[in-house]
Amino acid sequence: MSTYTNISLAARPNPGPITPDLFKVEYKSIPQAGPGQVLVKQTYMSLDPAMIGWMSPDQESYVPPVEIGEVMRSAGIGEIVESNHPDFAVGDRVRGMLGWREYLVSGGEGLTKLPTNLNEEMALAVFALPGMTATQGLYGFGDPKKGETIVVSGAAGSVGSIVGQLAKADGLNVIGVAGDDEKCDWIRDELGFDAAINYKTDDIPARLREYAPNGVDIYFENTGGAIQQPVFDQMNTHGRIIVCGMIADYTSDTPSAGPNWIPLIKKRITIRGFAMPDHFQDVQKLTEKLTPYVINGKIRYRTHVLEGLESAIDGLNLFFTGGNRGKLIVKL
């Protein structure tokens, strides 16, 4: 095969589902590595909720949007198939922001070798954006203490599932919120969360009172939506709210209202919004924090693997529907 698939952004999304016309799919000739370059064949590509933001023209976002006509942005893992670069040999596995394409030529900038003992799926599901985000959010801003209660929304998601398991390993009472019973069963029965709430079918305030009889100390917010106000109402004095994602609102024309601020005073609550590009310089430190939990078997994960690059397009909609079962990965 002398051609490869390349997908670039063709238009900005409107509120609502991601549609194929937002992308341009092209079949290009596989290039050759020039002097000092490598040719990378991507093998696994990560799909992340942040991509919705990267596609949008919002000037207030924390990273520049993908330009129209530019290859769509993504993290991934690939194999060196040609090398004229002293640091990389044919067969090396590398990771980096590879983009939505099967092959790319690179001068090596931004490529790092994958440790030989790390498989690709764990590399993308744990030791990548999800694990770094979970670790930074929980320990950088959450100040978790044994015996406290944490509520994690989007708890079956790539970030939420790690947050909850870290907190459980630290001795907290961990309540996960998810959108269907299968996910609730998974976080409770497989990951060891103390309790799970199905926000679509459960009586949220009643379940919160039952599972958090002493109130909520930490609220790790990945979704927004129906769960937000009820959890906010149960926050304890000196509670910490970490706002990591609001996927329930990303596709709506008019953002939903947030909670009134009076309880912030009465309970001296801190709400902290964050995004990982502010903390990329801390990745080494975050990895060192996360690694012992993984080595000690405290962090389980599952992957939802899509086959073929073009499956990424419709795959993004799984973030809105909650239809994915684990970390979304595209196998190329």
Cβ closer to a second copy: 198 or 229? 229
Contact 128, 44 (CB under 8 A): no
Sign of CA dihedral 74, 79, 85, 86: positive
217 lies in the binding site for a second copy (CB under 8 A): no
| Element (DSSP H or E) covering residue 311 | helix 311-315
Cβ closer to a second copy: 19 or 256? 256
CB 129 → a second copy: shortest distance, Å?
14
At residue 116, what are phi and psi to the nearest 5 degrees? -65, -25
Cβ closer to a second copy: 201 or 256? 256
Tell me the one-letter amino acid at 303: T
Sign of CA dihedral 100, 106, 110, 113: positive
- The 3-state secondary structure of 55-103 reads HCCCCCCCCCCCCCCCECCCCEEEEEEEECCCCCCCCCEEEECCCCECE
Cβ closer to a second copy: 76 or 230? 230
Of 268, 280, 308, 314, the one binding a second copy (CB under 8 A) is 268
Of 9, 221, 312, 327, the one binding a second copy (CB under 8 A) is 221
Of 31, 147, 273, 308, the one binding a second copy (CB under 8 A) is 273
Site for a second copy in 26-65 (CB under 8 A): 53, 58, 60-62
Cβ closer to a second copy: 262 or 295? 262
Of 68, 264, 305, 318, the one binding a second copy (CB under 8 A) is 264
Total residues at the site for a second copy (CB under 8 A)? 37
CB 15 → a second copy: shortest distance, Å?
13
In sequence order, what are the residues at sequence separation of 6 or more whose Cβ sits closer than 8 angstroms to the Cβ of residue 11? Answer: 21, 22, 68
Planar angle of CA 85, 90, 93, nearest 5 degrees = 100
Of 26, 70, 143, 278, the one binding a second copy (CB under 8 A) is 278
295 lies in the binding site for a second copy (CB under 8 A): no
12 lies in the binding site for a second copy (CB under 8 A): no
Cβ closer to a second copy: 25 or 275? 275
Helix, strand or coil, per DSSP, at residue 41 = strand
In sequence order, what are the residues at sequence separation of 6 or more whose Cβ sits closer than 8 angstroms to the Cβ of residue 258? Answer: 228
Binding site for a second copy (CB under 8 A): 53, 58, 60-62, 221, 224, 228, 237, 243-246, 249-250, 255-275, 278
